[in-house]
Amino acid sequence: MEHYNMNLNLKVWRQKNSKTKGEFKMYRVENISSEMSFLEMFDVLNERLIEEGDDPIAFDHDCREGICGMCSMYIDGKPHGPWQGNTTCQLHMRAFKDGDTIVVEPWRANSFPVIKDLVVDRTAFDRIIQAGGYISVNTGNAVDGNALPINKNMADASFAAAMCIGCGACVAACKNSSAMLFLSAKVSHLALLPQGEPERKSRVLDMVAQMDKEGFGSCTNTGACEATCPKEISISYIAKLNNEYLCAGLTTE
């Protein structure tokens, strides 16, 4: 693949904290390699801002390998940018052309308040997990790997749901700021396994209640969540969540 350099204009959201009003600011970056990741390009910009005595742009990042779900950016109107099934840290600058103007914003959802610049508070997801996203196991001794035979189709479906990295792109893309795709993945991957059976009913009831408490919107099945999910989680898990919730409500005293 041909390597080339480019000059770009960045229109970046700057906001001091959750209580102040934010605004877009323009930045020019030059000689950016097409093989840089989007976050590496921001590193270059921030190094320059620091050298000039300006406040660097705050953004979340951790593993930079598409696993942690930290790199939440709205890029040109799409969570994580133009590439399908991709996180921001895996987005490379060859996705853009020399002279492009790129608009970069934080997630837009009331349940994800801006902390600073492109960093948002996603602890609402943590509280949903704490409400029921766990299993009861005996941790005192090792369990043989073959002790609980699991149907391959069920195991595959569970693993597919467990791929959710909790980045929040589904919420950011949804016109209702719904967290149903995230929640359905977290509920389904445990409900499909025998290890998740003890808390199966209480889990879905408690996690849905916490989701509502956090102020996320309702699902209207537009499919934007599935289309933008970097791990391509299927909205069929939302149907699984609804079924789990209905059955738990009918059978729980």
Q: What is the pLDDT of residue 1?
A: 65
Q: Count Cβ atoms below 10 Å from residue 86 Cβ, excluding itself.
A: 19
Give yes or no on whether 5-115 and 123-251 have one common fold.
no
- pLDDT truncated to tens, each residue of the chain (253 aa)? 678 999 999 999 999 998 999 999 999 999 999 999 999 999 999 999 999 999 999 999 999 999 999 999 999 999 999 999 999 999 999 999 999 999 999 999 999 999 999 999 999 999 999 999 988 877 677 667 667 788 999 999 999 999 999 999 999 999 999 999 999 999 999 999 988 998 999 999 999 999 999 999 999 999 999 999 999 999 999 999 999 999 998 885 5
Please state which architecture CATH assigns to domain 123-251.
Answer: Orthogonal Bundle (1.10)
Half-sphere exposure of residue 237: CA atoms within 13 angstroms, side-chain side: 29
- The CATH architecture of the domain made up of 5-115 is Roll (3.10)
Sort residue 81 into left (φ over 0), alpha (ψ -120 to 50) or beta.
Answer: left
Exposure of 163 in the CB half-sphere (CA atoms within 13 A): 17
Q: Please answer whether residues 161 and 188 qualify as being in contact, where contact means their C-beta atoms are separated by less than 8 angstroms.
A: yes
pTM of the predicted protein model = 0.93
Do the Cβ atoms of 241 and 132 come closer than 8 Å? no
Which residue type does 177 have? Answer: S
pLDDT confidence of residue 195:
87
**Structure confidence at residue 253 (pLDDT):** 56
- pLDDT value at position 77? 95
Sequence ranges of the domains in the chain: 5-115, 123-251
CA distances from 85 to 7, 122, 210 (A): 26, 21, 28
